Amino acid sequence: MGDQQHVVKIPTIDDLEAKFKLNGSRVLVRVDFNSPIDPKTGRILDDSRIKAHVETIKELYEKRCMIVLMSHQGRPGEDDFVSLENHAKVLEKHLGLPVEFIDDVIGPAARKRISELKPGEILLLDNTRLVSEEVIEAVPEKQANTIFVRRLAPLFNFYINDAFAAAHRSQPSLVGFPLVLPSAAGRLMEREVKALAKLVSPEERPRIFVLGGGKVRDTLRIIEHLHMQRAADRILVTGLVAELFLLAKGLNIGTENKRFLERRGLISLLPRARYILLKGAPIETPVDFVTLKGNEVSVEHVGSITGLIRDIGPATIEMYSELMKDAKVIVLRGPAGVIEDPRFRKGSIALVEAALSTNAFTIIGGGHLTSILNEVRIPEGARYHVSTGGGALLLFLAGEELPALKALELSAKKFLGW
């Protein structure tokens, strides 16, 4: 959507088949099963990202491939950094086929099981981020030489990347394999890239971005990029990002909330947030919040907040809804509140409903926000696209080259003669 939107041409499963025989082959598939997890029970709160990969996996199953799936879940040190055992069960339910899970990624147990697989068998490896190399970002050439890639690649004929939502990460499981194995985009990746590339023409203004969620560092990077590319006419912030920008404006968000940001190491981002404001990025911040003090839920206005911020308040919902009214394109990413608790979903639901009630084309992205869609009233005739991507979606729309797509292009040059 940035005015410098690049043309993306990535190899698909059809391109791979035109040159090689996929039937009965050993295929390593990078999916993005990263889902919201209940921090108390470890339960997967929304399985739409898992479901979204069914088409690709079924197609490979029908070709009698030996299918090995890998995904990350959360980040080391965070509550949602868990094993993929439950994800295998959820996938099995959606696929209607047996899915085996192994609590290993690149070790001897995983490699032995992979080499013994029979046609049509599906194996899910454990969380890729259990391997320390996976959390380091580097160019594809470097990632192709990691232990991660060198251990697994010899066991496969092909690599398929279906993880659009992780395409902005330059990690071994996403960019290393395409350089050593003939590779292609899976059906979900293909669909997302095609849909987004043609969705929005640069003339369609105003474009409004509603950005929330917990990934504050990433969101700042995205805002910088959107502003640099002049891709956003307004950026309405919610969640922790909003708290940071309020502080950057010199407003009081209450001691508890400031301490919360401190504990998460986010106060160090204040100078960056101030610089973004100074550069004139069109940021709008909330005027009130729903807060929690003990068990008491209240609405408090910015400047006199004493409770812990949990959601945006009614005046903010009204103001943001008003601002969205004349938009041509609205992109929403990340929840406005702590949606894991039903008491704090209202802001996120209201903003999605407000966007869908406008005449704009709405793009809703990110695993967390899409998890509340079943609670949203979708007006008849609403024009929208639900993307599995959050950060990847926004960077793609801002015209940034996504490393995983670039790696697929490099692979096509090397193995498909593009």
Residues that bind ligand 3PG (CB under 6 A): 32, 34, 75, 165-166, 169, 215, 218, 367, 390-391
Q: Which is nearer to ligand 3PG, 213 or 313 (CB)?
A: 213
* CB-nearer residue toward ligand 3PG: 192 or 218: 218
d(CA 418, CA 185): 15
193 contacts: CB under 8 Å, gap ≥ 6: 8, 10, 164, 185, 396, 405
Element (H, E) at 270: helix 270-278
**Backbone Cα Rg of the chain:** 22
Nearest to 44 by CA among 85, 86, 74: 86
Which residue, 117 or 135, is less far from ligand 3PG as judged by CB? 135
Least distance (Å) from ligand 3PG to the CB of residue 411? 21
Nearest residue to ligand 3PG on Cβ basis: 34
**Shorter beta-carbon distance to ligand 3PG: residue 253 or 336:** 336
We find the least distance from the C-beta atom of residue 169 to ligand 3PG, in angstroms, to be 5
Shortest Å, Cβ 415 to ligand 3PG: 26
Shortest Å distance, C-beta 380 to ligand 3PG: 30
Give, in degrees to the nearest 5, the angle at Cα 39 between 269 and 348: 65
Give the CA distances from residue 244 to residues 19, 123, 217, 219, 236, in Å, rounded to whole numbers and listed in that order: 51, 42, 11, 11, 13
Backbone angles phi, psi at 9, to 5 degrees: -125, 110
* 7 secondary structure, DSSP code: P
Q: Measure the CA–CA gap between 121 and 154, rounded to whole angstroms.
A: 18
Question: Shortest distance, CB of residue 78 to ligand 3PG, whole angstroms?
Answer: 8
Q: Report the residue number, 287 or 331, with the smaller CB distance to ligand 3PG.
A: 331
Min. distance of Cβ 364 from ligand 3PG in angstroms?
14
239 or 391, CB closer to ligand 3PG? 391
